[in-house]
Amino acid sequence: MSREDSLYFMFYQRRHLCDAVLRVGDTEFHVHKIILYACSPYFRNLFTHWSGPDCRIFDVTEVSSDTMNLIIEFCYTGFVPVTEANVEELFVTADRFDIPGLMQVCSDFLESMLMPENCIGIWLLADSYYYPELRHKALSFILKHFEMVAVASKQFPLLPVHHLIQIIQCNQLLVKKEETVYEAVLKWISYSLQERAKYISLLFPHVRLALMDEIYICKNVMKNPLVYLSQDVRLIVLKTAKAIHQHSTQKFLKTTHWYPLIPPRLPPALIYAIGGWSNGNPVSTIEAYNPCTDHWVNLTFTEEAPRAYHGSAVLNGCLYCIGGYDRVTQLSSVSKLDLKMHTWQEVSPMHRKRCFVSVTVLNGFIYALGGYNGLRRLESAERFDPKRNQWTFISSMHERRSDASCVSFDGKVYICGGFTGMHCLATVECYDPRTDQWTMMASMSSRRSGVGVAVYENQIFAIGGFSGTERLATAEAYNPVTNAWETVRPMLCPRSNFGISVINSCLFVVGGYNGNHTTMEVEFYNSQTNKWTDARDMAVSRSALSCCMHYRMQCSRWRDEKNASRVKHNVK
């Protein structure tokens, strides 16, 4: 609050120089017209167009005196104490009085309150008063947490039918299985069966039946009385069952008439597992993982050459594969996959061949650090500017290292562990692009070559690797503020040279080498439970792969492969 605002507020509190009285029931508020005039078009009209020049007393209805007091306080100070008890009435009254600043304050508070129990009420409130920003955020929360919302929200059965349709028709609805959507629809109808049974023909076309298990459809959907008694719904179910049967023997689903029956639920983010070493050879395999459904899909593009021990990064909607090894030579080449156009393109190669390279993204640049050129381990580092299609050397690291792993955090690049050619490393270095200098940081508690490093929960996690004598399952976390490492819960299985990525507030490790063979196993760590949990295996067992995460992939290949995979699974 400015000095001038505080002075006006003091005058208001002491009733000095007030030129208007707002009367709310038996309560009178002595105010300054100019303050409310400047804050609200409603009061501007009240003081000018809706009253004479000599009018001093104005009756305000349909608002409580407590809320009116808060409205006036906001007009004078720009601040107001918002609570769970008063936020809805404040929001509604701010809309009536056309006070955008107060509506934004209430909107921010409501957004911070979002949880499965209340998100539907907040969504409907924002929808009723046409506040699109809050409406979008509340709907996004519902879509992301639908499985909990359908169970925990007392407001879910009270949804108007057109709002329920808005939810279940959305491609961004996140459910592990489509059966959840079907059961939620039945729950909504059953809440008032006689009144709502007629809506099943409106709701059912938005349930992705072809994503459901075939046995479940036969045992539950087809035998449900609501389905059986509705001719329209019965035809939808029969059409879907027929389509599943017709396509069950096909390797891929390429006929376009299939898609209206099985439009995909698009994940907000995917983990890509790219390339690697399998059965004694580098591979070009690319698999994409949807954490919402715990499902892998093969997205391999035939034009991409096999490579292992490479790095990868996503920048500006493109996936970059950097360096590595193709069984013949160490690579300096860089390939770029446009995730919208689904096409590969070669970009400028690095200045050095780099196998076992460490890669990260910072401030719009891709950094490639260390590695092995076929003759020696490297301390050199370079970065790529995609706008200029050019690699530029940066200062060299203090130590030569291949098989390390790096991340960007708080405007700097951190690289951990690795191999010098003689021994495995526990050391950590930090690069500051503002000074172009490397600084040695606190070392890890274990030597780790083939380590996986990721930023998770505002710390840098270093996981697994090879100590020089054994593969590790251990993990530790670095706090840049204290420059100290602490031990965290170990993985379920030891591994080195694996992929690592963070998605949906969980840290995933993918594939790798367990000391005996490559693995297709995947597990993830959740800091909320402090547990590692097995996830769905990849289709291809491999080490020396690279993983990265990308938001909102809109990929027809994802749809085709996922649909084919689901149908083949359903008819087993």
- Give the range among 179-188, 192-201, 202-211, 212-221 with minimum mean pLDDT: 212-221
Residues 408 and 314 in one domain: yes
Final residue of a domain: which of 212, 231, 261?
261
C-alpha closest to that of 43 among 96, 90, 1? 96
For position 230, what pLDDT does the model report? 87
Per-residue buried b or exposed e for 258-287, using 16+ beta carbons within 10 Å of the residue's own CB:
beebbebbbbbbbbbbbbbbbeeebbbbbb
- Give dist(CA 443, CA 403) in Å, integer: 16
Residue 460 has pLDDT above 70, yes or no: yes
pLDDT, tens digit, 9 for 90 and up, residues 111-150: 999 999 999 999 999 999 999 999 999 999 999 999 999 9
Q: What total number of domains does the chain contain?
A: 3
Q: Does residue 180 lie within any of the structural domains?
A: yes
For position 301, what pLDDT does the model report? 66
Confidence of residue 238 (pLDDT cuts 50, 70, 90): confident
Q: Does residue 320 lie within any of the structural domains?
A: yes
Confidence of residue 302 (pLDDT cuts 50, 70, 90): low
C-alpha closest to that of 73 among 7, 12, 4, 3? 12
Q: What percent of the chain has pLDDT over 70?
A: 91
SS (H, E, C) 140-197: HHHHHCHHHHHHHCCCHHHCCHHHHHHHHCCCCCCCCCCHHHHHHHHHHHHHCHHHHH
Residues 6+ apart with CB under 8 A from 215: none
Q: What percent of the chain has pLDDT over 90?
A: 73
Specify the CATH number for the domain of residue 253.
Answer: 1.25.40.420
Average pLDDT, the chain: 90
A 10 A CB-CB count for 94 gives 27
Coil, strand or helix at 413: strand
- Give dist(CA 450, CA 284) in Å, integer: 20
For position 264, what pLDDT does the model report? 67
For position 565, what pLDDT does the model report? 40
- Give dist(CA 372, CA 377) in Å, integer: 4
- Give the range among 5-19, 32-46, 548-562 with minimum mean pLDDT: 548-562
Residue 414 has pLDDT above 50, yes or no: yes
For position 5, what pLDDT does the model report? 58
Confidence of residue 221 (pLDDT cuts 50, 70, 90): very high
Domain of residue 189, residue span: 159-261
Q: Does residue 118 lie within any of the structural domains?
A: no
Residues 177 and 274 in one domain: no
Final residue of a domain: which of 214, 232, 261?
261
Would you say 25 and 65 are in contact if contact means Cβ atoms under 8 Å apart?
yes
Q: Is the pTM of this model over 0.75?
A: no
Residue 186 has pLDDT above 90, yes or no: yes
Q: Which helix (H) or strand (E) holds 80?
A: none
Would you say 451 and 464 are in contact if contact means Cβ atoms under 8 Å apart?
yes
- Give dist(CA 27, CA 21) in Å, integer: 10
- Give dist(CA 469, CA 214) in Å, integer: 49
Stronger pLDDT, 49 or 137, i.e. the higher one: 137
- Give dist(CA 487, CA 119) in Å, integer: 37
- Give the range among 202-211, 375-384, 392-401, 433-442 with minimum mean pLDDT: 202-211
Would you say 468 and 449 are in contact if contact means Cβ atoms under 8 Å apart?
yes
